[in-house]
Amino acid sequence: MSDVVIYHNPQCSTSRKTLDLIREQGFEPEVVQYLKTPPNRETLVALIQKMNVPVREVLRERCDPYVELGLADPKWTDDELIDFMVEHPVLINRPIVITDLGARLCRPIESVLELLPKSK
């Protein structure tokens, strides 16, 4: 396994730029195209815990299922939101990067630099 893992959507410019920045820093990450191979519920929960952020921070608001399912409504519990992300992986915001130094939703892209080991 690589020292760096990126949950990536090649159609997303932010995700592509983050991947490019990781490579410019001398790392060849494990690339998980999460729309093709979505994380299961256990993996998604572990990612959110490792990022230490509220579930809603990982929820992508600018996509059809978000609007169609009415996910802006505060009635949804974290568990329900996670279930929606498992069922509709497009709801997972990206890019998520994981290293030994932690995990983060890398927006802005430069925030990935804080996750990369200094000695490569």
Q: At what angle do helices 41-51 and 78-87 cross, to 10 degrees?
A: 120
**12 a catalytic residue:** yes
Catalytic residue of the set 2, 5, 6, 12: 12
Residue 68 tokens read as 């169609």
| Neighbouring C-alpha atoms within 13 Å toward the C-beta of 58 | 28
- The rounded distance, in Å, linking the Cα atoms of 87 and 4 is 26
Coil, strand, or helix at residue 2?
Answer: coil
Strand order through the sheet with 5-8: 30-33, 5-8, 96-99, 102-105
User: Which residues are catalytically annotated?
Assistant: 12
